[in-house]
Amino acid sequence: MTATISKVTTIGHWAGGKSFPGSSQRTAPVTNPATGVVTGEVALADVDDARAVIDAAAAAFPAWRDTSLAKRSQILFAFRELLNARKDEIAAIITSEHGKVLSDAAGEVSRGQEVVEFACGIPHLLKGGMTENASTNVDVASIRQPLGVVGIISPFNFPAMVPMWFFPIAIAAGNTVVLKPSEKDPSAALWIAALWKEAGLPDGVFNVLQGDKVAVDELLTNKTVKSISFVGSTPIAEYVYATGTAHGKRVQALGGAKNHAVILPDADLDLAADAMINAGFGSAGERCMAISAAVAVGPVADELVAKIKERAATLKTGDGTRNSDMGPLVTKAHRDKVASYIDAGEADGATVVVDGRNPQVDGEADGFWLGPTLLDNVTPEMSVYTDEIFGPVLSVVRVDTYDDALELINNNPYGNGTAIFTNDGGAARRFQNEVEVGMIGINVPIPVPTAYYSFGGWKASLFGDTHAHGTEGVHFFTRGKVVTTRWLDPSHGGINLGFPQNA
């Protein structure tokens, strides 16, 4: 089916405080997933376009680096206030291009705003250390300074929150930013750029580069760009990390996930069932922190599956502007790919308890719809378990013991997020100690940390050793200097070719 084309807007780049279309003739369609209607054409940068945006960021860096912390904080606070007052505007943009329901889009913006608020405290976060008289008449001080131009490559599923994991801290620390949003939902980035300008951010400090692999590769190889922050699939994260580090860049590349929730026999099954619905089907499962595998331990599986099925039947799938619980998937191709996993799971012997392949929806017929799907009796050999599906498909895996559940998770190549549901404090404490995953929830299904802690996984879910936001983010976007100072009296110290010694 060919998507209907309505009034189409041109979505360009942003550099030096203004938008520009670029010189490339290549574009990609931007579609409203709830209607199937093409609403925009986003520019796909060529190398010249990418360099123009990077050069704008480079030109702005010296002045921004030398701007006082007090002034930077004032601009951060102004941006925070504007964002808080107008978050409904960006939520509507997100819903129109991504498809998630408005309440979910607003929640995404609020979580990103937490990092803005964290970055408002940058004067305290950048405090160095100082030791007086470390050696006779010698003082030693440590300072943190910005890197320069930093690149951010963000995914389609959180067009506001994921960039906000990075750019508030990067900007507050004195860097200039080039953001490369997903070409599937590029408009939120431009709205953010205009808001920064309104907040008083100097031109060129925040820039937007639209595009595909051409733009990404220029960010990864251009020597002006000093760091890369990436969120996306594991194969691309690995490519970004390998290419960026090979070109001398500092890289944090957050990859894919296969998040498990362990439900122990003593768990509150109503709480666990609610949590599986929320974490499995929120944002149509298009979250890197979505629960996609519910690991039922011992005798609880039948009752748990029944409770999830009962709740799934109450969910309303439809247009995100119509008070629905779950919206469409981002593209038709992705919708069809996710549906194919349901086909494969059924063919492999999984039980289709709730089938979302032909949902009743409150929305246009050409929307990219897939309803909540629950598969039972899933085994680790099935593709529905091994692959990151990124859709509203929840698999129930049955195991006999806690040790079996732990082994299942630790043997998985991903290590992004996990959860355990139990009333046993000892079991919970053992789980948090033994599980090989970066973010853990205890009776919390989506354990996304607050902004002053870091976000990041283990194993194939993270390439690089630095997580997003928190104090790790401050360290990622700065580098250290140590200054050793000696002020002598007028007499000469004499000649000494030996290695300096402390005394």
Catalytic positions, written as ranges? 288
Looking at this protein, which amino acid is placed at residue 307?
Answer: K
Tell me if 387 sits within 8 A of 338, measured CB to CB. no
| Residues with Cβ within 8 Å of residue 464, at least 6 apart in sequence | 241, 250, 251, 252, 253
Q: Where does residue 349 fall: left (phi above 0), alpha (psi -120 to 50 degrees), or beta otherwise?
A: left
Phi then psi dihedrals of residue 377, to 5 deg: 60, 40
DSSP assignments along 80-116, one per residue: HHHHHHHHHHHHHHHHHHH---HHHHHHHHHHHHHHH
Name the DSSP letter for residue 348.
T
Q: What is the pairing mode between strands 206-208 and 138-146?
A: unpaired
Q: How far apart are CA 156 and CA 224, in angstroms?
A: 26
Per 3-state DSSP, what percentage of the chain is helix, strand, and coil (rounded to 5)?
40, 25, 35
The torsion angles phi and psi of 170, rounded to 5 degrees, stand at -60, -45
How many angstroms separate the Cα of 330 from the Cα of each of 3, 4, 182?
Answer: 14, 16, 11
338 CA to centre of own chain: 21
Could you tell me the CA-to-CA distances from 456 to 167, 283, 435, 465, 467 in Å, in that order? Answer: 16, 20, 15, 9, 5
Selection from 164, 169, 170, 163 nearest residue 149 by Cα: 170
Tokens read off for 19: 């938008």
